[in-house]
C-alpha cells in the first residue's frame, strides 16, 4: 500500500470529484470540511459534483424498507411547528445554527437596541430569517419584533439588475402576498407591519421578488421570486 500522495496529486477535476464524494459521505473533518462546505456555496461546478454523489449514494437506501412511524410523532411534529407556545430547546438550537453568525449578531444588536432604556419585557419574542437568493447572489437578513410591530431588514449581499428593484413581501398561509416595499439601496430598512400581519408574526413567510423600478405596478408580485423563507423564533 503506497502513501496517499499519489491520490492527492490527482489533478483537478478528479481531485475535486473525490473531495465531493468524501463530503457527501461525511468523511471530511475540521478545516478541510469547512473549506469544502464553503466551496459548495461558492463554486457551482463543485456543488454539482456534490449533488451527483448525493444522487449516487442515496441508492444505498433503496433496499431500506419503509417503516410507518407511530402517529404520535406526527402530532408532536405538527405541534412543534405550528402551535408551539415555546419552541423546544433542540429545535431552537437548530434554528440558531441555521441562522448565519451575522443574523445572530444583528438580532442580538437589535434586541439590545429595542429593549433600549426600558426594562426587558417578559415573554418578549423575536422572529428572524435569512433570505438567500436561489439564482442570484442575494442575501438579506430580517428580524421581526411583534411587540413593536416592525420588521428590520438588512441587505448583506446582492444588487438589483439595472432598472429593476427588489420588492419585499409578507405572506400568510392561504393569503395573497402583502408588499412591504422596495428594498432601499443603502442596506437597512425598517417597516411597520399592518396589524393583521403583526398578530400572526410567527406564521409569516418573507419573499423577495424581482420587479420594475419603484416596485410592482399591480400590487402583486409580477417578477421571479428570488428568495423566500419563513421566519423562526429566535
- 77 vs 115, which CB is nearer to other proteins? 77
The alpha carbon of residue 92 and the mean position of all alpha carbons in its chain are separated, in whole angstroms, by 15
Helix (H, G, I), strand (E, B) or coil at 228: strand
What dihedral angle (degrees, nearest 10) is formed by the CA atoms of 212, 213, 215, 221?
Answer: 20
Cβ 179 vs Cβ 137: under 8 Å: no
Work out which of 11, 67, 101, 116 binds other proteins, going by CB under 8 A: 67
Query: In angstroms, what CA-CA distances link 164 with 156, 171, 182, 228?
Result: 18, 22, 10, 18
Residues of span 170-189 touching other proteins by CB under 8 A: 171-174
- 138 vs 165, which CB is nearer to other proteins? 138
In sequence order, which residues have a C-beta less than 8 Å from that of residue 139 and are 6 or more positions away?
130, 131, 132, 133, 155, 156, 157, 158
Q: Which of 146, 143, 153 is nearest to 196 (CA)?
A: 146
Task: Output the smallest distance, CB 156 to other proteins, in A.
Answer: 15
- 114 vs 136, which CB is nearer to other proteins? 136
Residue 160 grid coordinates: 438589483
Stretch near other proteins under the rule CB under 8 A, chosen from 12-20, 117-125, 191-199, 216-224? 12-20
The alpha carbon of residue 105 and the mean position of all alpha carbons in its chain are separated, in whole angstroms, by 15
Residues of span 126-165 touching other proteins by CB under 8 A: 132, 134-135
Work out which of 74, 164, 188, 190 binds other proteins, going by CB under 8 A: 74
Residue 122 contacts other proteins per CB under 8 A: no
Work out which of 9, 11, 62, 118 binds other proteins, going by CB under 8 A: 62
Task: Output the smallest distance, CB 69 to other proteins, in A.
Answer: 4
Residue 70 contacts other proteins per CB under 8 A: yes
- 152 vs 232, which CB is nearer to other proteins? 232
Residue 83 contacts other proteins per CB under 8 A: no
Question: 89-113 b/e with 16+ CB inside 10 Å = b?
Answer: eeeeeeeeeebeeebeebbeebbee
Stretch near other proteins under the rule CB under 8 A, chosen from 37-45, 120-128, 154-162, 208-216? 37-45
Residue 48 contacts other proteins per CB under 8 A: yes
Residue 25 contacts other proteins per CB under 8 A: yes
Amino acid at each position: 500500500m503506497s502513501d496517499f500522495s499519489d491520490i492527492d496529486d490527482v489533478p483537478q477535476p478528479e481531485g475535486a470529484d473525490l473531495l465531493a464524494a468524501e463530503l457527501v459521505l461525511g468523511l471530511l473533518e475540521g478545516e478541510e470540511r469547512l473549506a469544502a462546505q464553503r466551496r459548495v456555496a461558492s463554486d457551482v461546478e463543485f456543488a454539482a459534483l456534490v449533488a451527483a454523489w448525493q444522487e449516487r449514494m442515496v441508492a444505498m437506501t433503496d433496499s431500506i424498507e419503509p417503516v410507518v412511524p407511530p402517529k404520535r410523532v406526527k402530532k408532536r411534529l405538527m405541534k412543534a411547528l405550528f402551535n408551539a407556545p415555546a419552541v423546544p430547546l433542540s429545535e431552537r438550537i437548530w434554528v440558531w445554527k441555521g441562522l448565519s453568525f451575522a443574523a445572530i449578531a444583528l438580532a442580538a444588536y437589535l434586541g439590545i437596541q429595542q429593549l433600549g432604556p426600558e426594562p426587558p419585557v417578559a415573554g418578549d419574542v423575536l422572529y428572524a430569517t435569512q433570505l438567500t437568493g436561489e439564482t442570484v447572489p442575494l442575501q438579506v437578513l430580517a428580524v421581526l419584533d411583534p411587540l413593536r410591530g416592525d420588521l428590520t431588514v438588512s441587505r448583506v449581499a446582492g444588487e438589483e439588475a439595472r432598472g429593476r428593484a427588489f420588492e419585499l413581501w409578507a405572506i400568510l398561509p392561504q393569503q395573497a402576498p402583502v408588499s412591504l416595499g422596495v428594498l432601499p439601496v443603502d442596506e437597512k430598512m425598517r417597516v411597520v407591519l399592518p396589524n393583521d400581519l403583526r398578530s400572526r408574526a410567527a406564521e409569516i413567510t418573507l419573499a423577495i421578488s424581482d420587479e420594475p423600478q419603484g416596485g410592482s405596478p399591480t400590487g402583486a408580485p409580477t417578477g421571479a421570486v428570488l428568495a423566500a423563507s419563513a421566519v423562526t423564533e429566535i
